[in-house]
Amino acid sequence: MLELGKAGESGAGKGEVPVLRGGELVARLRSTDFWKEGSVAVVGDREWVLERRKGGALAGRWTVDPEDAARLRAEQVSVWKGTWRADLEGTVVDVVPASYWKGTYRFAVGERTVAESGSTGGWSPRPTLTAGEDLTLDAQVFLLWLVLVLQRRTYGAAIAVSIGAATAGSS
Protein backbone atom coordinates (compact mmCIF):
# COMPACT_ATOMS: atom_id res chain seq x y z
CA MET A 1 0.00 0.00 0.00
CA LEU A 2 1.19 3.49 -0.85
CA GLU A 3 0.37 6.34 1.47
CA LEU A 4 1.19 10.00 1.65
CA GLY A 5 3.24 10.84 4.71
CA LYS A 6 3.57 14.14 6.49
CA ALA A 7 5.40 16.93 4.66
CA GLY A 8 9.11 17.12 5.41
CA GLU A 9 9.22 13.77 7.25
CA SER A 10 10.35 10.21 6.45
CA GLY A 11 13.27 11.33 4.30
CA ALA A 12 11.40 13.97 2.29
CA GLY A 13 12.89 17.43 2.11
CA LYS A 14 11.29 20.69 3.19
CA GLY A 15 8.17 21.33 1.13
CA GLU A 16 8.01 17.71 -0.04
CA VAL A 17 5.45 15.06 0.86
CA PRO A 18 6.82 11.52 1.14
CA VAL A 19 5.11 8.63 -0.63
CA LEU A 20 5.59 5.60 1.60
CA ARG A 21 5.22 1.85 1.13
CA GLY A 22 5.39 -0.03 4.41
CA GLY A 23 6.95 3.03 6.06
CA GLU A 24 9.75 3.20 3.45
CA LEU A 25 10.18 6.22 1.18
CA VAL A 26 9.51 5.24 -2.47
CA ALA A 27 8.75 8.66 -3.98
CA ARG A 28 8.32 12.34 -3.12
CA LEU A 29 5.71 14.91 -4.19
CA ARG A 30 6.41 18.62 -4.34
CA SER A 31 3.58 21.02 -5.08
CA THR A 32 4.50 23.55 -7.74
CA ASP A 33 1.21 25.43 -7.97
CA PHE A 34 -1.67 24.59 -5.63
CA TRP A 35 -4.31 26.46 -7.63
CA LYS A 36 -3.28 24.94 -10.94
CA GLU A 37 -2.94 21.49 -9.33
CA GLY A 38 0.69 21.19 -10.36
CA SER A 39 3.24 18.93 -8.71
CA VAL A 40 6.57 17.31 -9.31
CA ALA A 41 6.90 13.65 -8.38
CA VAL A 42 10.31 12.11 -7.88
CA VAL A 43 10.18 8.32 -8.33
CA GLY A 44 13.62 6.74 -8.12
CA ASP A 45 15.93 8.84 -10.29
CA ARG A 46 13.10 10.08 -12.54
CA GLU A 47 11.18 13.36 -12.15
CA TRP A 48 7.59 13.63 -13.30
CA VAL A 49 5.71 16.87 -13.99
CA LEU A 50 2.09 16.35 -12.90
CA GLU A 51 -0.29 19.06 -14.04
CA ARG A 52 -3.78 20.07 -15.05
CA ARG A 53 -4.06 20.74 -18.75
CA LYS A 54 -6.48 22.91 -20.72
CA GLY A 55 -9.86 21.22 -20.78
CA GLY A 56 -9.36 19.81 -17.28
CA ALA A 57 -7.31 16.71 -18.09
CA LEU A 58 -4.61 15.75 -15.63
CA ALA A 59 -1.33 14.63 -17.13
CA GLY A 60 2.09 13.37 -16.18
CA ARG A 61 5.29 13.59 -18.20
CA TRP A 62 8.97 13.23 -17.49
CA THR A 63 10.69 16.58 -16.98
CA VAL A 64 12.84 15.88 -20.07
CA ASP A 65 9.75 15.36 -22.29
CA PRO A 66 8.29 18.20 -24.39
CA GLU A 67 5.67 20.25 -22.53
CA ASP A 68 2.80 18.86 -24.62
CA ALA A 69 3.77 15.20 -23.98
CA ALA A 70 1.68 13.03 -21.65
CA ARG A 71 2.89 9.59 -20.59
CA LEU A 72 0.14 9.40 -17.97
CA ARG A 73 -3.25 11.04 -18.40
CA ALA A 74 -6.65 11.18 -16.69
CA GLU A 75 -9.84 12.74 -18.01
CA GLN A 76 -13.24 13.06 -16.42
CA VAL A 77 -15.85 10.87 -18.11
CA SER A 78 -18.93 11.94 -16.14
CA VAL A 79 -19.36 14.91 -13.83
CA TRP A 80 -22.58 13.46 -12.42
CA LYS A 81 -21.14 10.03 -11.65
CA GLY A 82 -17.69 11.34 -10.72
CA THR A 83 -15.99 8.86 -13.05
CA TRP A 84 -12.64 9.30 -14.74
CA ARG A 85 -10.60 7.35 -17.28
CA ALA A 86 -6.83 7.16 -16.97
CA ASP A 87 -4.32 6.15 -19.64
CA LEU A 88 -1.23 4.84 -17.89
CA GLU A 89 1.26 4.46 -20.73
CA GLY A 90 -1.18 2.36 -22.75
CA THR A 91 -3.12 0.72 -19.92
CA VAL A 92 -6.62 2.20 -19.76
CA VAL A 93 -8.01 2.33 -16.23
CA ASP A 94 -11.56 3.30 -15.26
CA VAL A 95 -11.73 5.38 -12.07
CA VAL A 96 -15.03 5.02 -10.21
CA PRO A 97 -16.02 6.40 -6.80
CA ALA A 98 -16.09 3.54 -4.27
CA SER A 99 -17.55 5.74 -1.53
CA TYR A 100 -18.71 9.32 -1.94
CA TRP A 101 -18.71 9.75 1.85
CA LYS A 102 -15.12 8.61 2.28
CA GLY A 103 -13.81 10.08 -0.99
CA THR A 104 -12.39 6.73 -2.11
CA TYR A 105 -12.04 5.29 -5.60
CA ARG A 106 -11.82 1.93 -7.36
CA PHE A 107 -9.51 1.55 -10.36
CA ALA A 108 -10.42 -1.14 -12.90
CA VAL A 109 -9.12 -2.51 -16.18
CA GLY A 110 -12.24 -3.94 -17.75
CA GLU A 111 -14.02 -5.82 -14.96
CA ARG A 112 -10.82 -6.45 -12.95
CA THR A 113 -9.99 -4.15 -10.03
CA VAL A 114 -6.29 -3.21 -10.17
CA ALA A 115 -6.22 -0.69 -7.30
CA GLU A 116 -8.32 0.93 -4.60
CA SER A 117 -7.83 4.16 -2.73
CA GLY A 118 -8.40 4.73 0.95
CA SER A 119 -7.18 7.16 3.56
CA THR A 120 -5.32 7.29 6.80
CA GLY A 121 -7.47 8.06 9.80
CA GLY A 122 -7.31 11.12 11.99
CA TRP A 123 -8.18 14.78 11.80
CA SER A 124 -6.32 15.38 8.56
CA PRO A 125 -6.65 12.18 6.51
CA ARG A 126 -4.18 11.53 3.71
CA PRO A 127 -4.93 9.33 0.68
CA THR A 128 -3.64 5.78 0.31
CA LEU A 129 -3.53 3.46 -2.70
CA THR A 130 -3.53 -0.33 -2.61
CA ALA A 131 -2.54 -1.73 -6.01
CA GLY A 132 -1.53 -5.03 -7.49
CA GLU A 133 1.74 -5.60 -9.26
CA ASP A 134 0.04 -4.94 -12.62
CA LEU A 135 0.75 -1.23 -12.21
CA THR A 136 4.22 0.27 -12.18
CA LEU A 137 5.29 2.39 -9.23
CA ASP A 138 5.20 5.45 -11.52
CA ALA A 139 1.55 4.70 -12.43
CA GLN A 140 0.66 4.10 -8.77
CA VAL A 141 2.16 7.44 -7.73
CA PHE A 142 0.18 9.15 -10.52
CA LEU A 143 -3.07 7.53 -9.32
CA LEU A 144 -2.30 8.53 -5.72
CA TRP A 145 -1.77 12.12 -6.92
CA LEU A 146 -5.05 11.91 -8.89
CA VAL A 147 -6.90 10.90 -5.70
CA LEU A 148 -5.23 13.79 -3.83
CA VAL A 149 -6.38 16.26 -6.51
CA LEU A 150 -9.93 14.86 -6.50
CA GLN A 151 -10.10 15.03 -2.69
CA ARG A 152 -8.87 18.64 -2.72
CA ARG A 153 -11.54 19.52 -5.26
CA THR A 154 -14.25 17.86 -3.18
CA TYR A 155 -13.14 19.53 0.05
CA GLY A 156 -12.80 22.88 -1.71
CA ALA A 157 -16.33 22.63 -3.10
CA ALA A 158 -17.70 21.68 0.32
CA ILE A 159 -16.01 24.68 1.92
CA ALA A 160 -17.31 27.02 -0.80
CA VAL A 161 -20.87 25.75 -0.29
CA SER A 162 -20.52 26.19 3.49
CA ILE A 163 -19.24 29.74 3.11
CA GLY A 164 -21.99 30.55 0.62
CA ALA A 165 -24.67 29.17 2.94
CA ALA A 166 -23.23 31.06 5.91
CA THR A 167 -23.06 34.28 3.90
CA ALA A 168 -26.62 33.88 2.60
CA GLY A 169 -27.89 33.11 6.10
CA SER A 170 -26.30 36.23 7.59
CA SER A 171 -27.99 38.65 5.19
Q: Are 96 and 105 in contact (CB under 8 A)?
A: yes
Q: Give the model's pLDDT for residue 48.
A: 98
Q: Give the model's pLDDT for residue 169.
A: 56
159 has a pLDDT exceeding 50: no
The vertex-140 CA angle with 7 and 146, nearest 5°, equals: 65
Alpha-carbon distance of 155 to 40, in angstroms, equals: 22
Give the model confidence (pLDDT) of 76-120 as tens digits: 999 999 999 999 999 999 999 999 888 899 999 999 999 999 998
Mean pLDDT of 14-38: 89
Band of residue 142 on the pLDDT scale cut at 50, 70, 90: very high
Band of residue 155 on the pLDDT scale cut at 50, 70, 90: low
Give the model confidence (pLDDT) of 29-78 as tens digits: 998 876 668 999 999 999 999 999 998 999 999 999 999 999 999 999 99
Alpha-carbon distance of 101 to 111, in angstroms, equals: 23
Q: Give the model's pLDDT for residue 152.
A: 85
Alpha-carbon distance of 69 to 89, in angstroms, equals: 11
pTM of the model: 0.87
Question: Of the ranges 7-16, 46-55, 148-157, which is most confident?
Answer: 46-55
